[in-house]
């Protein structure tokens, strides 16, 4: 049952200096459905593939608005993401109340990383089993940060995480030099195309399973879900088969 | 149940009641400010076309004794904003240390090649200070100061606002605390009656205006001194001069005051 | 010869029969896998440099700073598990803030190193915690003369603050390195991470204890040494990050700052040239 002797808690180093519990938490991220994030010189976009537990259940919310100027996309344990997003919302609100300024994305990411690291070094705690993409605009421009359960955070130009995200990442690497100059429309199209790369052969992006979040300078963070995402799907994938308005049932 | 060693042998709170924590206070009696002791007098400031000019004299009075004559009541924050403190000097020191630690913490999160765009500007600083002052007032333990915050706000526009021991805040193209509010404001307002006038004012005229106000304050404020500090904040930074002496004083008007010198009528 | 600590290496704070805490030794392995970091104490300041391996083409170049500022005059860089490094930096910041609150003066680098050493050691002696998977290099500059006290009003007595013996030298640049066991020493040149052996031998060649290396020279040497140490992971791309602290009369005026872009690029150019020169000599 155990892969090895050293993986029972986050407090144990393996002889090679690895902490297996943290690495297993990263696996939880890989089980979640794919999310993609890209920044240009003026905008930041998040795109996510939503899943439903059963045919008749609702789809798991993957993109969360944190403050007027940024939002997050999650992959992994959604309940852990809720705890972290609540924390981020509190911190962001506090910054607006105390200083009347939108919190800098590097700062909130840093606070997240400190919080997440604690749970990798204390008895009885486990690492957060969710990866986040934090995207938005602050006074220094658009930013995209990747957050991993280990507490490692990195600023990226584009990123993808979740099941089969390697395909999305390959698409992003191919186009990485184009992103900086992209306008809002192009950026969303790139994100949706990258997302599509990670879908299995028979799947499609539909009104039910796609979420997009976009923010730009002097534009608040907008969450596009349901009908509001349809025009973007149509614009990106020209030869879509019918069924934009009908309820697609994903199996 | 708390099984940790610090609770071994301890009677249960739900059976015997909680301990009275006031017996364990190590910090001495709780204190509330009732009056300022060593005080600074007025601070005056005016917005001009490209920034703000602010000035305060270098005196700290101990009641009616002119006790400390080299006290700098203009303090810079992040090399971009200037605060002028009137009122209690020890509370000024407390706030100076508090803001210094805030500045150190803020410095951690900005990256170096950032051109300072995400630094706290004067507007953010004023908002933060107003929260601090209001909180202390609500604890009935005020920081006994009247502060002017001068600097550049959003989009580098000149910013000038006031916050006092009650947590009251307001903003205006010309501001003064203490006696300055009565003696200097009319002079400032005659030159700069509104925002439009302040946008026309040049730096030289603004500095001259402030120097004039400092002179009048020295004539009439009994707790003032003729040495003062003056700062000009603009896009090129803070220019702080700390040992200016009042010039061109004319005390001839005193001859006309009854009871002055050897006059009896 | 390392013995396998079977049975004695699963829990922290447990001694093996030959008196070793294996979890701490495994933590050291995590450090050895990390990117190289070095610190150089020059005669008028400290330089810190680190090799940041680029794990993805999608990373934003020039962002993701690893060398952290503690208070205003101290810098800290670590090799090993990044989040542990961040946590130790946050503890260091708390220590300096609380020192400032009590003594109204910046914390001396030596005192900070001592506090961090004790803190890291605590994690090796507690069954409910695990050791830090990092080695941290702490470098900073302590003021040589009298500095204004925090919140100072007025200029103080004209004879100065006092409390200093005549003829003795106070302050200056300082460099310390703290290991996962909590052990720490003061250094003229310190190196940790994957390429530490190569870096150490280069540092020894510089004869730093003679106190002759200037800060500018130190920056160039630091870049060169990182490039040499990177040879071990030649196939991966990396970004060089460098920071420095000088005295009041130097370029940073006592503050810990990133090395300006032009100077860093010049140092990298010279470092690359030196490497090519070596290659030619080998052929």
Instruction: Please give the interface size between A and B, counted as residue pairs whose CB atoms are below 8 Å apart.
Output: 26
Predicted local distance difference test score (pLDDT) of residue C113: 97
- Give the mean model confidence (pLDDT) for residues A157-171: 95
Residue A150 has pLDDT above 90, yes or no: no
Name the residue among A98, A100, A104 with its Cβ closest to that of B123.
A100
pLDDT at B112: 42
C155/B111 Cβ within 8 A = no
Which sequence spans correspond to the domains of chain B?
A: 38-243
Interface check for A115 against chain C (CB to CB < 8 A): the answer is no
Which chain A positions have a beta carbon within 8 Å of B120's beta carbon?
Answer: 99, 101
Per CB-CB distance under 8 Å, the chain A contacts of B109 are 104, 106-107, 110
Out of A19, A118, A154, closest to residue C59 by CB: A154
Q: Chain B: give the shortest CA distance to residue A201, in Å.
A: 44
Q: Summarize the confidence of residues B49-60 as an average pLDDT.
A: 96
Mean pLDDT of chain B: 90
Put simply, whether B128 touches C (Cβ < 8 Å) is no
Cα distance between residue C114 and residue C117, in whole Å: 5
CB contact B120 to A (< 8 Å): yes
State whether residue B209 sits within 8 Å of chain C by CB. Answer: no
Chain B contacts of C101, Cβ < 8 Å? Answer: 97, 101
- Spatial CA neighbour of A194 closest among A216, A174, A209: A174
CA distance C55 to chain A (A): 10
What is the predicted pLDDT for the residue at B218? 96
Q: What letter would DSSP give residue B22? A: G
Chain A residue with the nearest C-alpha to that of B130:
A98
Does the distance separating the beta carbons of C68 and B93 come in below 8 Å?
no
Residue B118 — pLDDT band, cuts 50, 70, 90?
A: low
Of B71, B100, B107, the CB nearest to C154: B71
Arithmetic mean of pLDDT, A177-199: 94
pLDDT for A246 = 43
Beta strands in chain B (DSSP E): 38-40, 43-47, 52-57, 60-62, 65-68, 74-77, 81-88, 145-152, 158-164, 169-171, 174-176, 227-234, 237-245
Is C86's CB within 8 Å of A114's CB?
yes
Mean pLDDT (whole number) for B117-129: 89
pLDDT digits (tens, 9 = 90+) for B20-51: 777 677 777 777 878 999 999 999 999 999 99
**8 A C-beta contact, residue B44 and residue B208:** no
| Cα nearest neighbour of C93 on chain B | B105
Please name the residues between 142 and 201 in chain A that touch chain B, using a CB distance below 8 Å: none
Chains near A (3 or more Cβ pairs under 8 Å): B, C
- Over residues A24-28, the mean pLDDT reads 89
Contacts of B94 (CB under 8 A, 6+ apart): B143, C151
How many domains are there within chain A? Answer: 1
| pLDDT at A129 exceeding the cut of 80 | yes
Residues in A touching B127 (Cβ below 8 Å) = 98-100
Q: Is residue A248 part of a domain?
A: no
ipTM: 0.86
Mean pLDDT of C5-29: 84
- B99-102 — which CB contacts under 8 Å span 24+ positions? B99/B75, B99/B125, B99/B129, B100/C150, B100/C151, B101/C97, B101/C100, B101/C101, B102/B128
Residue partners of B187: CB distance under 8 A and separation at least 6 = B209, B212, B213, B216
Q: Residue A251 has what pLDDT?
A: 43
**pLDDT value of residue B17:** 83
Pairwise CB contact (< 8 Å): B101 & C68: no
The model's pLDDT over B58-81, given as tens digits with 9 standing for 90+, comes to 999 999 999 999 999 999 998 889
Can you tell me the mean pLDDT for A226-233?
92
* Residue C222 burial by Cβ neighbours in a 10 Å radius (0-12, 13-18, 19+): buried
Report the pLDDT averaged over residues B147-165. 95
Distances in Å between the Cα of B3 and the Cα atoms of B12, B18, B20, B26 are 12, 17, 21, 26
The reply to whether residue A98 touches residue B123, judged by beta carbons under 8 angstroms, is: no
Interface of C with A (CB under 8 A): 4, 9-12, 22-23, 26-33, 56-60, 63-64, 80-84, 86-87, 90, 123, 127-131, 133
The DSSP code for A59 is B
In this complex, the residue of C62, C93, C104 whose CB is nearest that of residue B108 is C93
Q: Which of A99, A101, A110 sits opposite B109 (nearest CB)?
A: A110
**How do strand A219-225 and strand A210-216 relate by DSSP bridges?**
antiparallel
Query: How many other CB atoms sit within 10 Å of the CB of residue B142?
Result: 23
Q: Contact partners of C by the rule of 3+ C-beta pairs under 8 A?
A: A, B
Contacts of B among chains (3+ CB pairs under 8 A):
A, C
pLDDT tens profile C137-180: 999 999 988 888 898 888 888 888 887 888 888 899 999 999 99
Distance from CA of B105 to the nearest CA of A (A): 11
Task: State what percent of residues in chain A have pLDDT above 90.
Answer: 67
Tens digit of each residue's pLDDT (9 = 90 or more) over B233-258: 999 999 999 999 999 899 888 878 87
Subunit contact A13:C59, Cβ cutoff 8 A? no
- Residue ranges making up the domain that contains A84: 29-236
Do C211 and C63 contact (CB within 8 A), yes or no? no
**Subunit contact B92:C153, Cβ cutoff 8 A:** yes
Q: How confident is the model at residue A1 (pLDDT cuts 50, 70, 90)?
A: very low
Q: Least CB-CB distance to C69: which of B94, B100, B107?
A: B107
What residues of chain A lie within 8 A of the CB of B114, using their CB?
A: 140
> Which residue among C151, C153, C261 sits closest to B60, beta carbon to beta carbon?
C153
- Is B111 an interface residue toward C (CB < 8 Å)? yes
Q: For position A202, what pLDDT does the model report? A: 85
For residue A11, what are the contacts with CB-CB under 8 A and spacing of at least 6?
A121, A122, A123, C12, C128, C129, C130
Distance from CA of B166 to the nearest CA of A (A): 17
pLDDT over threshold 50, residue B143: yes
Q: Does B79 touch chain C (CB under 8 A)?
A: no
Q: How far is C280 from chain B (nearest CA, A)?
A: 37
- B141/B94 Cα distance (integer angstroms): 13
What is the per-residue pLDDT for B263?
64
CATH of domain B38-243: 3.60.20.10
Question: CB–CB of C69 and B108 under 8 A?
Answer: yes
pTM over 0.90: no
Reported as a pLDDT band with limits 50, 70 and 90, residue B19 is confident
Is A2 contained in some domain? no
What is the pLDDT averaged over residues C92-112?
96
CA distance A110 to chain B (A): 8
Residue A56 lies in a domain: yes
Is B134 in CB contact (< 8 Å) with chain A? no
Q: Residue A69: which residues within 8 A CB-CB, separation 6 or more? A: A102, A136, A137, A138, A215, A220, A221
More reliable by pLDDT, A1 or A19 = A19
How far does the CA of residue C45 sit from the closest CA of chain A (Å)? 29
Q: What is the mean pLDDT of residues B149-164?
A: 94
Kindly identify which residue of chain A lies nearest to residue C87, measuring between CA atoms.
A114
- CB-CB: which of C65, C153, C257 is closest to B71? C153
pLDDT of residue C230: 93
In a domain, A22, yes or no: no
Q: Which residues of C touch A133 (CB under 8 A)?
A: none
Q: Is A140 on the interface with B (CB under 8 A)?
A: yes
Residue A249: per-residue pLDDT: 44
Answer for the pair C77, C36: CB distance below 8 angstroms, yes or no.
Answer: no
> What pLDDT digit, counting tens, does each position of C49-71 carry?
999 999 888 998 888 889 999 99
pLDDT for C249 beyond 60: yes
For residue B114, the distance in angstroms to the closest alpha carbon of chain A comes to 7
Range A196-204 contact pairs with CB under 8 angstroms and sequence separation of 24 or more: A196/A237, A197/A167, A197/A168, A197/A170, A197/A171, A198/A34, A198/A49, A198/A160, A198/A162, A198/A163, A198/A164, A198/A165, A198/A166, A198/A167, A198/A168, A199/A49, A199/A164, A200/A164, A203/A250, A204/A240, A204/A241, A204/A248
Is B155 an 8 Å CB contact of chain A?
A: no
C36-282 folds as 3.60.20
For residue C185, the distance in angstroms to the closest alpha carbon of chain A comes to 23
């Amino acid at each position: 049952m155990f892969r090895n002797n050293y993986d029972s808690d986050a407090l144990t180093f393996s002889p090679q200096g690895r902490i297996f519990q943290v690495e297993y938490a990263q696996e939880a991220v890989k089980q979640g459905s794919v999310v993609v994030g890209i920044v240009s010189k003026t905008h930041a976009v998040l795109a996510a593939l939503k899943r439903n537990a059963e045919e008749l259940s609702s789809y798991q919310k993957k993109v969360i608005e944190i403050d007027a100027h940024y939002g997050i996309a999650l992959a992994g344990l959604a309940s852990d993401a809720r705890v972290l997003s609540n924390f981020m919302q509190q911190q962001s609100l506090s910054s607006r109340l105390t200083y009347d300024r939108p919190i800098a994305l590097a700062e909130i990411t840093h606070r997240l990383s400190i919080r997440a690291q604690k749970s990798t070094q204390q008895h009885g705690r486990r690492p957060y089993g969710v990866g986040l993409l934090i995207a938005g605009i602050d006074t220094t421009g658009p930013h995209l940060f990747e957050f991993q359960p280990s507490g490692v955070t990195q600023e990226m130009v584009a990123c993808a995480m979740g099941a089969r995200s390697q395909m999305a990442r390959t698409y992003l690497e191919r186009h990485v030099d184009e992103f900086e100059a992209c306008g809002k429309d192009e950026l969303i199209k790139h994100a949706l195309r990258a997302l599509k790369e990670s879908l299995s052969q028979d799947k499609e992006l539909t009104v039910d399973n796609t979420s997009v979040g976009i923010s730009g300078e002097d534009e608040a963070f907008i969450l596009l879900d349901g009908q509001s995402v349809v025009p973007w799907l149509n614009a990106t994938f020209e030869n879509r088969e019918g069924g934009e308005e009908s309820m697609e049932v994903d199996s | 149940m708390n099984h940790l060693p610090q609770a071994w042998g301890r009677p249960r709170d739900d059976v015997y009641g909680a301990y009275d924590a006031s017996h364990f206070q190590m910090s001495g009696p709780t204190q509330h400010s009732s009056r300022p002791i060593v005080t600074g007098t007025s601070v005056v400031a005016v917005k001009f076309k490209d920034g703000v000019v602010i000035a305060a004299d270098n005196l700290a009075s101990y009641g009616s004794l002119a006790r400390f004559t080299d006290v700098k009541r203009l303090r810079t924050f992040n090399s971009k904003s200037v605060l002028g403190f009137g009122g209690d000097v020890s509370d000024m020191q407390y706030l100076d240390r508090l803001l210094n630690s805030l500045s150190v913490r803020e410095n951690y999160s900005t990256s170096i090649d950032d051109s300072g765009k995400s630094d706290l500007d004067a507007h953010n600083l004023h908002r933060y200070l107003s929260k601090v002052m209001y909180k202390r007032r609500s604890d009935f333990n005020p920081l006994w100061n009247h502060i002017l915050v001068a600097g550049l706000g959003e989009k580098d526009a000149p910013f000038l606002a006031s916050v006092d021991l009650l947590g009251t805040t307001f903003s205006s193209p010309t501001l003064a605390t203490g006696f300055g509010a009565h003696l200097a404001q009319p002079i400032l307002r005659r030159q700069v009656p509104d925002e439009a006038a302040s946008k026309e004012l040049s730096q030289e005229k603004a500095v001259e205006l402030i120097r004039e106000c400092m002179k009048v304050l020295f004539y009439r404020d009994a707790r003032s001194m003729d040495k003062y500090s003056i700062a000009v904040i603009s896009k090129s930074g803070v220019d702080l001069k700390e040992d200016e002496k009042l010039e061109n004083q004319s005390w001839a008007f005193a001859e006309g005051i009854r009871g002055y010198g050897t006059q009896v009528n | 010869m390392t013995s396998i600590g079977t049975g004695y290496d699963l829990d922290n704070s447990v001694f093996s029969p030959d008196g070793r805490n294996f979890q701490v030794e495994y933590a050291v392995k995590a450090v050895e896998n990390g990117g190289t970091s070095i610190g150089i104490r020059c005669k008028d300041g400290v330089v810190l440099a680190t090799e940041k391996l680029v794990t993805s083409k999608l990373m934003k170049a020039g962002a993701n700073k690893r060398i952290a500022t503690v208070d205003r005059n101290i810098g800290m860089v670590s090799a090993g598990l990044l989040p542990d490094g961040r946590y130790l930096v946050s503890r260091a910041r708390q220590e300096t803030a609380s020192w400032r609150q009590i003594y109204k003066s910046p914390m001396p680098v030596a005192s900070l190193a001592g506090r961090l050493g004790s803190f890291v050691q605590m994690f090796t002696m507690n069954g409910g915690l695990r050791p830090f998977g990092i080695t941290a290099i702490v470098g900073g500059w302590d003021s040589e003369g009298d500095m204004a006290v925090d919140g100072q009003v007025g200029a103080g007595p004209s004879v100065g603050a006092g409390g200093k013996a005549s003829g003795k030298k106070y302050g200056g640049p300082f460099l310390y390195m703290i290991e996962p066991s909590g052990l720490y020493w003061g250094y003229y040149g310190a190196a940790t991470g994957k390429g530490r052996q190569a870096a150490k031998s280069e540092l020894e060649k510089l004869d730093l204890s003679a106190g002759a290396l200037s800060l500018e020279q130190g920056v160039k040497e630091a870049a060169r040494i990182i490039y040499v140490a990177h040879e071990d992971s030649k196939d991966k791309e990396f970004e060089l990050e460098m920071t420095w602290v000088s005295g009041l009369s130097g370029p940073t005026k006592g503050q810990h700052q990133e090395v300006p872009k032009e100077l860093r690029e010049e140092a990298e150019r010279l470092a690359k040239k030196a490497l090519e020169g070596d290659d030619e000599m080998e052929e």
